[in-house]
A and B are shown apart, each in its own frame.
Chain A
Amino acid sequence: MRSILTLSLVFSTIRLATPLVWAAIGGLYSERSGVVNIALEGLMLAGAFTAAAVTFYTHSPWAGLGGAMGAAALMASVLAVACIRFKANEVVAGTGINILFLGLPAVLSGALFLSSGSTPQIPKEDLLPTLAQLVPIASQWRILSDVSVMSLLALLVVVLTSYVLYRTPFGLRLRSVGENPEAADAAGVRVNRIRYVSVALSGVLAGVGGAYLSIGQSSLFTRNMTAGRGFIALAALIFGKWRPVQTMLACLLFGFADALTIQMQGVAKLPSGEDVPVQFIQMIPYLVTIVVLAGFIGQSRAPGALGVPYDKES
């Protein structure tokens, strides 16, 4: 076992958890305001594709990041309008967004780059920087040279979200809208306005998570490159009981499972001499979510009004 548990496993965990944290915290804003966000996967894909395409043309990862935030926020707003204004079933509309982003990036990259599989390779110097690239002296410390700026920013977002959610008037309104919209409305809170803002914000953050995948961790967009991470982020959000810090810890746990899968391939053996089947490690986040939802590991209680459209008249 010693050969597996190395420092590189720690870095690998941080790298793999980073996109999950961004997306899960995004989902947190939407769901705490009462709107189910099953579209995290699609919003991440929107961010990943836009980031890669914009960075390819502008040679600036920051422009790419901005593009990703904008595109994903736009798509999240479409979801918000469908669900809030037209009272679409949130799960169904979210599934629509997810399927849309299986197809749309492929069609667009087919037209823009004549390859429906992926966007062109982006040169290394145009990618989102690691900490060492920003602070030259730090390159001596391995912990900084390997960690992306986006990982550090993810940590900041978690702290900021904790603050916003529990210490600001906006956070109070957001939580009240998600728990008891009637009471919030009676107290003068504009329920649907808060929900629009929250869902759009979830798009911004999920878009960053996607951008990290295409222009941070890798250097191009490939078809369906999120590979279920949006759903794992959703699982982490539930495991983390819809709270920022716990959600981040859940992301780290799932990132660790992912890192372990990669490291164990071809290395670790069962006592019988066979490879450890990676499929069983891949199942962990999903099994954990089912067990948590069933109430075996503490109660995970969803926001009171999650999934219930708010209609003033009714």
Chain B
Amino acid sequence: MTFLRELLFPLIAVLCAFLVGAIVVLFIGDSPVETYRLLLGSAFSWPDGIGYTLFFATPLIFTGLAVAVALRGGLLNIGAEGQLYVAAFATAWVGIKLASFPAVLLVPLCCVAAIAAGAVWGAIPGLLKARFGSHEVINTIMLNFIAVALVGYLTQYHYRIPGDPIMESAPIGNAAHIARLGRFVPGLPERIPLNFAFLLALLASWLVYVLLWKTKWGYEIRATGQNPAAAEYGGVSIRRQVVLTMAISGALAGMVGINEVLGYRYRYYDGFSDNYGFTGIAVALLGRNHPLGVIVAALLFAVLQRGGVPVDAFTQLVSKDIVLILQALVILFVAAEAMFRRSGRRWQGAGGSSGQATAPGKI
């Protein structure tokens, strides 16, 4: 019953978001039915629809997991965007510097660079909170801007091929490329950038599940998130926990760099992230901060992202930015979920414990 309820509220939130989205489309003067048909329908064709949807879902699984782990630990990581930028640059940097290494060494090294850079960038706000008590929300926002400026500087002044008008780094070594799934899946052409990072995302989801629910570390993270005072009384060092949780969260966000650099563009491309870090917040909330939920929510947002292209092309007035609106509405409805519980309680008598997904936002 609890499980069903956990499933019910995100579903209601999504439906409400789509309903309000339909009103916006109607107000503009287009057909909501047609828009939603294009938005949701194009994702299921084989091979392009499914291939691209899974490709788009990959970074969202990583950032969704990143936000979810932090929320489980009572922290709000708004900084996945900055973490993934720094990590993607670090991935490319290793791929460029060690280009002559053989693939068996270079690919793991690049992956370690992505994870380590993300972890470090995530640990900074953790350290600031542990040491000075400054709130991670403001610091992660500030670090997002600093990250974008920093990697922008490095790209523009140090790693761009002279004369290249595009803000992108030199290409990484061929040995650093990871295989596209098209090479192994019959019928899936290799031009579709779906790559091994997708399988890595599924593996990461499983690892996060094991970490959170099967290990002492994970137990401590969750205990800290639910009741820091009690956890501390039970012998958990809150300060250490904050740094550790933010580092894990940053590492997960950093893995976006593996998909982007090693599996897709084979270089660092400035401004590549399509709001992955912020969409990760929606993914985590909708997925109830559970790895399985994160995968499902990431797929939903990937379907929408894929659907934005035909909406742009085939509707008269609606542009693909309707996807951003739906995303924002999902966040708002999931965040204000108490509105459904309130009306739900009336029917159920007393629907007592609300599994509030979000951490208290004390700044």
Chain A residues packing against B (C-beta within 8 Å): 36, 38, 78, 81-82, 85-93, 95-100, 102-104, 106-108, 110-111, 116, 228, 231, 234-235, 238, 274, 277, 279-280, 282-283, 286-287, 289-290, 293-295, 302, 306-308
- Are A89 and B128 closer than 8 Å at their CB atoms? no
Q: Is the CB of A308 within 8 A of B134?
A: no
Tell me the smallest distance from the CB of B253 to a CB of chain A, in Å: 15
Supposing A82-B335, A100-B328 touch, asked if A283 and B138 sit within 8 A by C-beta, the answer is no
B172 contacts the other chain (Cβ, under 8 Å)? Answer: no
- Extra contacts, 14 of them, besides A277-B156, A282-B145, A290-B143 (Cβ < 8 A), are A86-B339, A89-B358, A92-B358, A92-B361, A97-B328, A107-B319, A116-B321, A235-B142, A277-B157, A279-B149, A286-B146, A290-B128, A290-B142, A293-B128
Contacts of A290 in B (CB 8 A): 128, 134, 139, 142-143
Map CB proximity to A onto B53-77 as digits: 1 under 8 Å, 0 otherwise: 0000000000000000000000010
Q: Which residues of A contact B128 (CB under 8 A)?
A: 290, 293-294
Closest to B145 in A: A286
| Docked complex Cα distance between A289 and B141 (Å) | 10
**B327 contacts the other chain (Cβ, under 8 Å)?**
yes
Provide a sorted-by-A list of 24 A–B residue pairs whose CB atoms are within 8 angstroms: A78-B332, A81-B336, A82-B332, A86-B337, A89-B359, A92-B285, A93-B336, A95-B331, A96-B332, A96-B335, A98-B328, A99-B278, A99-B328, A103-B323, A103-B325, A106-B321, A107-B28, A235-B138, A235-B142, A277-B153, A287-B146, A289-B142, A290-B134, A293-B132
Q: Contact mask B287-327 → A, CB, 8 Å, 1/0?
A: 00000000000000000000000000000011101111101
Nearest-CB residue, chain B, relative to A103: B324
Cβ of A46 to closest chain B Cβ, rounded Å: 12
Cβ-defined contact, B134 with A106, below 8 A:
no
Neighbouring A residues of B337 by C-beta, 8 Å: 86, 88
In whole angstroms, how far apart are the Cα atoms of A96 and B358 in the complex?
Answer: 14
A279 adjacent to B152 (CB under 8 Å): yes
Residues in B with CB closer than 8 Å to A234 are 138, 141
Complex contact A110–B150 (CB within 8 A): no
B137 interface hit (Cβ, 8 Å): yes
Contact A92 B145 (CB under 8 A): no
A104 vs B319: C-alpha distance when bound (angstroms)? 10
Majority DSSP secondary structure for residues of A touching B: helix
Task: Say how far B56's CB is from chain A's closest CB, in angstroms.
Answer: 17
With A92-B281, A294-B128 as contacts: A100 and B361 at CB distance below 8 Å: no
Is A93 within 8 A of B335, CB to CB? yes
State the CA gap A151–B128 with chains docked (Å).
36
Within 8 A of A (CB), among B66-99: 76, 78
Question: In this complex, which of B285, B321, B361 has the most chain A Cβ atoms within 10 angstroms of its Cβ?
Answer: B361
Cβ–Cβ < 8 Å partners of A108 in chain B: 28
Beta-carbon contact of B335 and A88 below 8 Å: yes
Which one, B134, B153, B338, B361, contacts A91 given CB within 8 A?
A: B361
On whether A102 and B149 interact (CB within 8 A), knowing A88-B338, A107-B319, the answer reads no
Known contacts A99-B275, A110-B318, A111-B318; A283/B363 CB under 8 A? no
- The reply to whether B145 and A283 contact each other, CB–CB distance below 8 Å, is yes
Shortest distance in angstroms between A199's beta carbon and chain B's nearest beta carbon?
14
Instruction: Give B331's nearest chain A residue, CB to CB.
Output: A96
B329 at the interface (CB under 8 A from A): yes
Most B C-beta atoms less than 10 A away, residue of A96, A106, A228: A96
Within 8 Å CB of A89, what residues of B?
76, 335, 358-361
Determine if B362 is an interface residue (Cβ-Cβ < 8 Å).
yes
A99-B336 contact, Cβ under 8 Å, with A111-B318, A307-B360: no
- How distant is the Cα of A289 from the Cα of B142 in the complex, in angstroms? 8
Which residue of B is nearest A92, CB measured? B335
A101 closest partner in B (C-beta): B328
Chain A nearest CB from B192 CB (Å) reads 26
Interface centre among B30, B335, B342 (most CB of A within 10 A): B335
Contact (A111, B29) CB under 8 Å given A96-B331, A295-B134, A307-B361 = yes
Asked if A36 and B76 sit within 8 Å, CB to CB, the answer is no
Chain B residues with CB below 8 A from A116, complex form: 319, 321
Contacts of A238 in B (CB 8 A): 138
User: With A99-B278, A231-B145 known to touch, is A93 a contact of B332 (CB < 8 Å)?
Assistant: yes
CB neighbours of A107 from chain B (8 A):
24, 28, 318-319, 321-322, 325
Contact A103-B328, Cβ < 8 Å, known A95-B78, A111-B28, A308-B362? yes
Please determine whether B139 and A279 come into contact, CB atoms closer than 8 angstroms.
no
Q: How far is the CA of A105 from the CA of B100 in the complex (A)?
A: 48
Inter-chain contacts of B339 with A (CB < 8 A): 85-86
Q: List chain A residues, Cβ under 8 A from B157.
A: 274, 277
Q: Does B135 contact A (CB under 8 A)?
A: yes
Residues from chain A with Cβ under 8 Å of B135 in the complex: 293, 302
